[in-house]
Structure 1
Amino acid sequence: MPNNKKHLASKSKHYAVEESTTLLLFLLKVMPKRGRNSVKSILERGQVSVDDHIETFYKYELNPGQIVSVLPNKEARREGALIGMSILYEDTEMIVIDKEAGLLSIANQKEKRKTAHHQLMDYVRKKNPRNQIYIVHRLDQDTSGVMMFAKNEQVKRQLQDSWNKRVKERGYLALVEGKVKEKSGTITSWLRETKAHRMYSSSEKNDGQFAKTNYTVLQSNNRFSLLEVHLVTGRKNQIRVHMQDLGHPVVGDKKYGAQSNPIRRLGLHAHKLTLTHPTTNEELTFNSPAPKTFWKMSN
């Protein structure tokens, strides 16, 4: 299945921001034939991206140098158009996507339709109304990158039950605050969850779920560092907690200690997934390039 990201990008209209303003005012200026309600509808449908993430908030503040991309209505309605995501791989058993930051993986109490799961469900049901899509694992709304779905419940269970055995590598890129001095390292702890659903580390053995994270510094300056992070275990919010433990929280992660958010999103990107196929046992690797802002901020 071809990647449709470049196709949709070529169909989008791109506008350079030259002065500080809000997203709604900017869109009204570059699309003078549209009214406020029309522009807000385009935003609500997820057809607007700022730099490398979907943005739906009409009061979002823009700065000079940013690029705003708008997918026209006719392209958004075109059969097969997926907003905020692209298909990296598809066969009879599974679909692997490249998700943009800002797109929900699955529905929550506030949003039911503008999700990766709902869009893929519509996509497969165009071929057969009885087709289904099943969640295998999740990415946070503000985390971008590689994500996998199963096409039947048997494959879903098979992948989830043998996840640690089948997944050979889960690689992330983390833009973190401050200059990380050690070029590489390993963080281990036992993770626990508060009643408010916030994860935290315990140094006491067996006090929670064991978590292990390896990292390597790719580049850094005095303000930010870009790390390549490999999960040895896959716990909830593991990277975010361990980066806080390291003293260098993920950019934009206020929940886990971040003091800044210059990229207006979470500085976390799932850039590599290597696994053994659930039926053919072939080893497959899927990649998603790092967002340009990650390199720019840490250079």
Structure 2
Amino acid sequence: MSESQPEPDPVETVIELDVPPGQTPVRIDVYLTDKTANATRSKVQRAIKEGRVEINGRPVTKVSTPVQPGDQIRCTVMRPPPIEIVPEAIPLSVVYEDDALLVVDKPAGMVVHPAYGHRSGTLINALLHHVGAGPLAGDEVEDTDDDDLGLATAAAGPRYDGDPTVRPGLVHRLDKDTTGLMVVAKTDVAAAHLGKQFADRTIQRRYLALVWGVPDGPGRVEGWLGRSPRDRKKISVRPEGEGKWAATVYEPVEAFAHTALVRFRLETGRTHQIRVHAASIGHPIFGDTTYGGDRIVYGAVEGSRRAFVRNLFARLGPRQALHAATLGFVHPVTGQAMAFEAPLPPDMAAVVDRLRRVEGSGA
């Protein structure tokens, strides 16, 4: 086993913010966490204590210092340099491919694009190898042509100052532990065309999920989703007008005694949308450690059933039992309607089959 490489020396990025006149007085650590992309409260508090935050030209070292309307804030953020993406010979399940795009069936455990916590082993690493491309760094994307790389580059670069990620070819994403179909653009023309279909909500996406309980259905969940004020890594249902509006349609496919296989259709595409909406109606996705699906929600919680459910969780890896089963779109070059379907992955199929045989129908 090779030794791990040390992290590169961090670089300084200066963020300057003008507090708007209507701002309600709030703690400086809370304000900066909310206004700084990908910031955590602990990192912001450390920057304040280290004297890297100024209000109106004066350093502040107390995290509870209040921010007032009209204040000018200057924060020096220490970030690693942009990540260089290296092609890796990772097996890919390619469902379809032509000169404009490809459709892949993403496995569980694969992160879609590199970030500070996942510098290798991602779908992008595998795609670069698949198309025969060389390494790619964030500061090179704007000067890289899609014909030279083999993946769309027009919208692949950093999205904001200090963003370390590079996303050649990506027009949508799946969570690390969600399996299933993704379309990847090889050309900028294809990326723009597919991106518009996602924006116009004409892309057909249906997911299969194993959930706790048996939902009444078919049904529809809608409302506002945004970052949880208690845990910035989680998404939560927010008050009206706070966050982004989201809507999900669901339909039970097969009911068991205390769980059900459910089909979900996205009307919007928000982070963790299906997982949050399923939990919000009292039916969290089986195995979901973030939104309450990693415990027994319905049925007996002791004895042999407790061991039975634990074994099912272990069979999943663990991960949430969520699979992007179908994907439909209009081909950006030919105009032809394209439709693809991916069967349940082996781990999820085994859990569903076991529930079907042991706990039977919920009817």
TM-score bracket, shorter-length normalisation: 0.5 to 0.7
> Does residue 236 of structure 2 align to residue 236 of structure 1?
no
**In the TM superposition, what whole-angstrom CA distance separates every residue of 1:128-159 from its partner, at most 9, and x where no partner exists?**
96433411111111000001111123322332
Corresponding residue number in structure 2 for 1:201: 237
> Which one of the candidate residues 246, 269, 281 is aligned to 2:335?
281
| CA–CA separation in structure 2 for the residues paired with 1:275 and 1:90 | 14
| Alpha-carbon shift at residue 259 of structure 1 (Å) | 3.1
Question: Which residues of structure 2 form unaligned runs of 5+?
Answer: 3-87, 135-146, 152-167, 296-312, 357-363
Contact preservation (8 Å) 1:224, 1:297: no
| CA–CA separation in structure 2 for the residues paired with 1:252 and 1:259 | 4
| Alpha-carbon shift at residue 297 of structure 1 (Å) | 4.5
> Which one of the candidate residues 257, 268, 271 is aligned to 2:322?
268
| Alpha-carbon shift at residue 232 of structure 1 (Å) | 1.2
> What SS is found at the alignment partner of 1:255?
coil
Q: Output the amino acid matched with 1:110.
A: G
Q: How does 1:35-74 map to 2 (within 5 A)?
A: none
> Does residue 130 of structure 2 align to residue 111 of structure 1?
no
**Over aligned residues, Cα RMSD in angstroms?**
2.5
**In the TM superposition, what whole-angstrom CA distance separates every residue of 1:82-108 from its partner, at most 9, and x where no partner exists?**
42x300111111111011111111112
Corresponding residue number in structure 1 for 2:127: 120
Contact preservation (8 Å) 1:190, 1:201: yes
> Does residue 242 of structure 2 align to residue 185 of structure 1?
no
| Alpha-carbon shift at residue 181 of structure 1 (Å) | 4.2
Would the alpha carbon gap of residues 130 and 170 (structure 1) be closer, same or farther in structure 2, given more than 3 Å must change?
closer
Q: Output the amino acid matched with 1:281.
A: G
Q: Output the amino acid matched with 1:125.
A: G
Corresponding residue number in structure 2 for 1:5: none
Corresponding residue number in structure 2 for 1:92: 99
Q: Which has the higher contact order (CA 8 A, sep 6+)?
A: 1
Q: How does 1:139-154 map to 2 (within 5 A)?
A: 139-154=174-189
Task: Give the length in aligned residue pairs.
Answer: 219
| CA–CA separation in structure 1 for the residues paired with 2:332 and 2:241 | 32
**Which aligned runs of 4 or more in structure 1 are off by greater than 6 angstroms?**
126-129
| CA–CA separation in structure 1 for the residues paired with 2:177 and 2:149 | 31
| CA–CA separation in structure 2 for the residues paired with 1:134 and 1:162 | 15
- Percent of aligned positions with the same letter in both sequences? 32
Q: Output the amino acid matched with 2:126.
A: Q
Q: Output the amino acid matched with 2:150.
A: N
The structure with more radius of gyration:
2
TM-score, length basis structure 1? 0.67
> Which one of the candidate residues 129, 132, 138 is aligned to 2:173?
138
TM-score, length basis structure 2? 0.55
| Alpha-carbon shift at residue 245 of structure 1 (Å) | 0.5
| Alpha-carbon shift at residue 248 of structure 1 (Å) | 1.1
